Amino acid sequence: MRDAMEKAWSDLVATARRSVADGLVVGTSGNVSVRVGDLVLVTPTGVPYDRLGPVDAVAVGLDGVQVAGRLRPTSELPLHLAVYRGTGARAVVHTHAVHATAVSTLVDELPAVHY
């Protein structure tokens, strides 16, 4: 299980860093998580993704209780846990893309679209 957790954390960090490189998050906005069995690895709050390392891993149970890590999980942990509890999702990437954030200030509801 330890190897799976280390691999999952490494993949999570790479995904978080890519979200910055792709312009999907600014600063420390947005968050990423991955489910490994009954545990959820999640980005910690307030840490720039380029500074995340192996010692920064944060793990919580599906009940939200932190079981590993010295940093606090993202404040949007309840969103991630709701997705895991209600779906078969194995990972969540929650971005705060500039354009999406701007649109969210202009309208109350967006129609579902697929390009």
- Whether the CB-CB separation of 94 and 83 falls below 8 Å is answered with no
Query: What tokens were used for 14?
Result: 């790479």
Q: Catalytic: 76?
A: yes
**Cα–Cα distance, 19 to 37 (Å, whole number):** 24
> Residue 37 carries which side chain, given as an amino acid letter?
G
Query: Contact 73/45 with Cβ under 8 angstroms?
Result: yes
**Exactly one of 52, 76, 84, 92 is catalytic; which is it?**
76
Catalytic positions: 76
